Amino acid sequence: MDSEVGTATSIERTFQYDDDLPSLPVPKLEDTLKKYLDSVKPLTTDEEYKETERIVGEFGQGIGQELHKKLLERARARKNWLEEWWRDRVYLTSRTPLGVSSMYGANRTMESFWPPCVGSNIERAAISTWYMLRYFEELRRENIPVERSKTGKMTFSMDQARHMFNGSRIPGAEADKLINFFKTEREGSCPNHLIVSCNGHLFRVDPFDSRGKLVSSREFARQLQNVKDRSTTKRGQCMSTLTADERSRYAENQKHLKSLHPVNEQHIKTINTAIVMLALDDSTPSTYTELVQAAMSGRNVHNHWLDKSVLLICNKNGSLSCISDHAPFDAMICVEMIYWGYVKLEKTGGVWPDSDCEVRGDLAQPQELVFVTDSAIEAAIVTAEETHYRMVDNVDILCSYFLNLGKDWCKQYRIHPDFLCQLAIQLAYYRMYGRPAATYETATTRQFNHGRTETCRSCSSESLAWCKAMMDPNATRAEQVELFKAAYIKHFESMSDAMQNKGCDRHLLGLYFISDEMGIPPPEIFLDPGFVKSGGGGNFVLSTSLSGYKPCLGMVPPMCQDGYFFSYRILTDKIEFAVVTYKNSSETDNHAIFKHVTQSLIQIRDITMQTASKL
């Protein structure tokens, strides 16, 4: 949604359509297998492709039919046949520490009304979080408008928005679980406190008064100042660090922590039920690369209770970022909340939103959460910290702009900006490595009941043919343009199908899960090298996502060791990219590939502007 989130009409409530949205469909087996083979072809040799084609044919005529039949039975019994699998088996069974599996976002206030300024963090944390609390109130009242597709023809599920607030992740020995205490006002009351961390201390802060009214932003600032004053002289217990460990080990440590004293379990409950967590960090980033790097690998893990669904960060110099768990919701859900507050801040220039400067003396004082610990917990904190920094220090992030291309230029030449970026990334990779890469692009399926995402496999035979032509000195400009048009049409078709849940990845994943639940060995289609080469099993070399057109850029680490993650944000006259790699990869270089991306964008601009016809 490209317009400001405002106030819903009196006849349309935020969640009113969720139960009436169509069930998530199951594609036809033959359609899925054809799409899968199409995606494998540009990434394999002729010999490899023939073998994959044989395997897929046997699967489609054999065990695949039985698995598909059982998947259809599952779909008839559920409105969303994928939802539980996606949450539980894709996310919650992972034992990977959350520091390298969470979503990281940078709020763009630094480039507009809040340049970095040491000493501004209490004021800016108070104002920005106060607007977030206003959003929380509006969501509880169901006044946040229902999101729709750009054309307005598709109504999107708002269910994921429920899981931003009052939620947390509970560690388990073999699998985690999600808990959530959010309720709309029509559904009843829900917790309305925050957790604020500072210098390793944890505090419960109550930003609503005894009548349930949100305190003023200045009053809230007084509460935050109280937290800071009580935290600066001595480092706290750093209990948040425990949440950054390997998940099974953390589950054991939390179990032990609860056994030490009943107060520990109560404190954990207080944290889990809080609206969100706000961390007052000590970092002083001055660029967006530094801002995201500080959220991920800055020395602030003692302030980050990573189990919380949303963790807001205000640094020492007033710069803002956030961390969110990927299991309960997708990135764009959090982007909408951040954008809502950003618009309010922009309208006021970032100054205090309250005309009343009076601060009441009877405000609830922040309550510090002091745990009962022992030597085992203290040792576990050290281990968790070492584990966390060993992993996040391996992640390299680059945020940068490409100027003179943006929404206006794309509109003039009738090129969708998402396609522009996708082709530029693919050409950059081809130019750098001399081969194509399996490419994942996120496609929303929120028009279905509790829909999340499907994969748009954007590396196609058509896009590869265009990349080759762009690198061929003998190719004519006319040939390059025609191949560009063919790639454009193919990408549009692939994205449209994916948004209808007619890609191949979610369907194949469902068939794999069915085979696993039947207790049979994985069918050959999932063991074929062509499956891995095309990105199957989480092996996409390029994982990409359009962050939209709003002032928030999000990112996650790459899917595979020698891969890249790209996110991009489209502005009026420029495009912002985030490129993420692993430092210990001998294959990747985010600075080098971004240079190739800029060269690719220049080439696309030139061939487009030099031809009279428009796409």
Catalytic residue positions, numbered: 326
C-alpha to C-alpha distance for 42 and 502, rounded to whole angstroms: 20
C-alpha to C-alpha distance for 431 and 223, rounded to whole angstroms: 54
What is the separation of C-alpha 88 from the centre of its chain, rounded to a whole number of angstroms? Answer: 17
CA distances from 407 to 271, 544, 576 (A): 42, 19, 12
Q: Is 567 helix (H, G, I), strand (E, B) or coil?
A: strand
Residue 425: its H or E element: helix 417-433
**End-to-end alpha-carbon separation of the chain, Å?**
24
Residue the block writes with tokens 């100027």: 403
3-state DSSP helix/strand/coil % of the chain, to nearest 5: 45, 15, 40
Does residue 440 contact residue 457 with C-beta atoms inside 8 Å?
Answer: yes
Which strands, in side-by-side order, build the sheet including 542-548? 395-403, 574-582, 564-570, 542-548, 439-444, 453-457
C-alpha to C-alpha distance for 103 and 482, rounded to whole angstroms: 38
CA distances from 167 to 181, 270, 308, 324, 537 (A): 6, 11, 6, 11, 29
Amino acid of residue 216: S
Does residue 421 contact residue 546 with C-beta atoms inside 8 Å?
Answer: yes
Using a 10 angstrom Cβ sphere, with 0-12 exposed, 13-18 middle and 19 or more buried, the burial of residue 259 is exposed
Q: Which of 559, 527, 541, 528 is nearest to 435 (CA)?
A: 541
- According to DSSP, the residues that pair with 442 across neighbouring strands are 455
What is the separation of C-alpha 96 from the centre of its chain, rounded to a whole number of angstroms? Answer: 16
C-alpha to C-alpha distance for 317 and 330, rounded to whole angstroms: 28
Interior angle at CA 41, CA 602 and CA 535, nearest 5:
80
CA distances from 425 to 42, 68, 471, 541, 571 (A): 16, 35, 14, 12, 18
